[in-house]
Chains A and B, each alone.
Chain A
Amino acid sequence: MQDGPAAWLARRISFGLLTLFLLSVVVFAGGQLLPGDVGRAILGPLADPRAVAALDRQLGADRPAVMQYLDWVLGILHGNLGQSLEFRAPVSPFILGALAHSLRLAAVALVMVVPLSIGAGVLAALRRGTLIDRVISLAGLSLTVIPEFVTSILVILLFGVWLRWLPISATWRAGTGLLGQLDHLILPAIPLVVVLFGYIARMARAGTVEALEADYTRTAILKGLSGAVVIRRHVLRNALLPTITVIAAQTSYLVGGLVVVESLFRYQGIGSLILAAAHARDFPMLEAGVLSVGAMTIAVTLLADALTAFLTPAPVPGEGG
């Protein structure tokens, strides 16, 4: 692929839009597969069939699927994400409020995990083959794969029940200050940190090892630069660039974790909203939640790709990014 960065970026964006389109079709198709019709779902099993048919007509649920899909997409483009079956109200305010909450929790988790995992990965690479390296690698490998609800139980028991350091519910009283809110968010953030730690640390380690072995590092050392300068200026700068993409690629794991963690800690975020909608079979809410989460993941991936491309002086990679 011999195209410039602008063309490359344009192609990435068009792929992103295509992915978003496919995602919307999948999500919409899920709604169409729901047993029973919309009118029945709203009016209940005892309602008069004529009333159900009338409501279906009123809601447009009796029209061909393609028309309904187009209506749905047009509505979303106008900021109308649909009507919740459970709350009989537009879903948009619910989704936006929940996203804002989740972003706060995700931010706390990222602020904790990014320095921790990059630090651990770089340390492991600099002390390659030693006990520290093996401990970090093994811890990363094992912690990443443990489901969030298991880690949550552990931190709740340890810090919430036995040590009583932190509150075990993520819901705070109205009027709690920022620091007080943080108190409630640290415990739920830990399971997310645990899940994200391993992969980021592993990639930071691999990147650092590669940079340590590269020719430019050898040249810098032979030039007589001090170890600290070589590591800061040559090794870290090159090693940590790919880590941006790696962190972005964790967005979807982060959201998966949010579903579990928010429900466990009773936090009103997008994850617990999606789960509650699933339990209530409130499909419009579920669709909107899933679509917004997917759209955010696609956007974050794209942003990370663009950032990496922007920061890399070398020719832009062709595919796959």
Chain B
Amino acid sequence: MSREVIAAGVVPEEAPQPSRWRLLRRSGGFRAGAAIVGFWALAALFGPMLVPWNPFATDPLHALAPPSAAHWFGTDQLGRDIFSRVIAGSRDILTIAPLATLLGTIVGSALGLAGGTLGGAFDFVLGRIIEVLVSLPLIVVALLALVAFGASPATTIVLIGLVFAPLVARTVRAAVLGEIALDYVAAAELCGESRLAIMFVEILPNVLGPVLVEATVRLGYAVFAVASLSFLGFGPGPPSPDWGLAIAENYGVIAGGYWWTVSFDAAATASLVVGVNLLAEALHQALAS
């Protein structure tokens, strides 16, 4: 425990045990992460209604215009307003990555809870599956599956979710094993509660912390993978304002000095992943303290 706190580079505070939530709110990383992720979540929900230009409207006469008062982030090769596209472009990634994470967390938690009661065989099988999964980068597994099943947002969601499930299960099972020896579980058993009830009613609420941390960490990986996939051409197709796609489309012209065609999309992607990971780190610390 202490090693993890140290590893994360934060000096343990001397305060007399404030509640975890208050600890979390005081942490600068949590605030910054929540602000960034909150901003993009709002952009994904309401952005397309608020942006100054139609993100899809082309204007060939003003193509590749540098940032100006009219076009804050400039225009792309088709004369589309980049500011409007960056705001609207948050929608795809903020739909696919969270859904994939949700799927992985639900399936993984169920597996982990079930595995808490099963013994060595479960461990062995889970361990082998995880070894196969970690022997390949997520991007490569995704390419394989997207070619085999055909590229679509649904395939991406299911695939990432299924890859995450065993990793979530490992964490949840470890947390379950920490709980199962405690008195309240024995008490519930004495009261005649069923195995299933003990798992989901008694133990699950007590391992929600680790589940939440794991889910946030996974969300960071999901955003990373989904963004990379759309850059590689396995995400939304044109004319979507998706960030990865926009960078792939305009990457060819940056040698000509048109830096604004990719920089803002790159910054948006970077801010989202860093935001999610700041949240994950803050949650991890709050739980570890």
Contacts and interface: CB of A to CB of B under 8 A. Distances in A.
Contacts of A209: 3, 6-7
A136 B231 CA distance: 29
B227 interface: yes
Nearest to B147: A278
A184 interface: no
B9 interface: yes
Contacts of A156: 254
B231 A259 contact: no
Give the size range of B's interface with the partner: 35 or more
A231 interface: no
Contact of A30 (B144, B234, B266, B269): B144
Given A19-B131, A33-B148, A149-B247, A260 B224 contact: no
B53 interface: no
B8 interface: yes
B228 A33 contact: no
B139 interface: yes
A209 B5 CA distance: 11
B273 interface: yes
Contact of A281 (B147, B231, B273): B147
Interface of B: 3, 6-11, 128-129, 131-132, 134-140, 143-150, 220, 224, 227-228, 231-234, 244, 247, 251, 254-255, 257, 259, 262-263, 266, 269-270, 273-274, 276-278, 281
18 contacts: A31-B148, A133-B9, A141-B277, A141-B281, A147-B231, A150-B227, A156-B254, A161-B254, A161-B257, A161-B259, A205-B6, A206-B7, A249-B134, A260-B139, A274-B143, A278-B144, A278-B234, A297-B135
Interface of A: 15, 18-19, 22-23, 26-27, 30-31, 33-35, 124, 128-129, 133-134, 136-138, 141-142, 145-150, 153-154, 156-157, 160-161, 168, 202-203, 205-206, 209-210, 249, 252-253, 255-257, 259-260, 263-264, 274-275, 278-279, 281, 283, 286, 290, 293-294, 297-298, 301
